[in-house]
Copies of this chain bind each other. A is one copy, B any other.
Amino acid sequence: MQIQRVVRDLVTTKRTFWLQAKALRVVEDYKGNLEVAVDPIGCKPGDFVITIGYSAARIATGNPKITTDLTIGGIIDHWDEQRWRS
């Protein structure tokens, strides 16, 4: 699983059926690469999270029909890696 930081929400009016009504967040790694994850937990921008990829991402939403390849799996209590501060 990856360690990523929540950047903001993502708004997509036109969306495939099985992603509808799911909260989507833009997340970034410590290099600033952006990805999009389903958020079943309720995160705020700035939260450090672990994200789950591949087939486990679908299961982690609570419904394997949800067509995501990245899902937030937990909020890290405290993360103080130097690399994230630059």
Contacts and interface: CB of A to CB of B under 8 A. Distances in A.
A50 interface: yes
A3 B7 CA distance: 14
Contacts of A2: 35-36
Contact of A3 (B1, B34, B57, B72): B34
Number of copies: 5
Nearest to A53: B69
**Dominant secondary structure of chain A at its interface with chain B:** mixed
Given A2-B35, A54-B54, A55-B54, A12 B68 contact: no
B13 A75 contact: yes
A18 B60 contact: yes
B56 A67 contact: yes
A23 to B, nearest CB: 13
Contacts of A1: 24, 35-37, 68-70
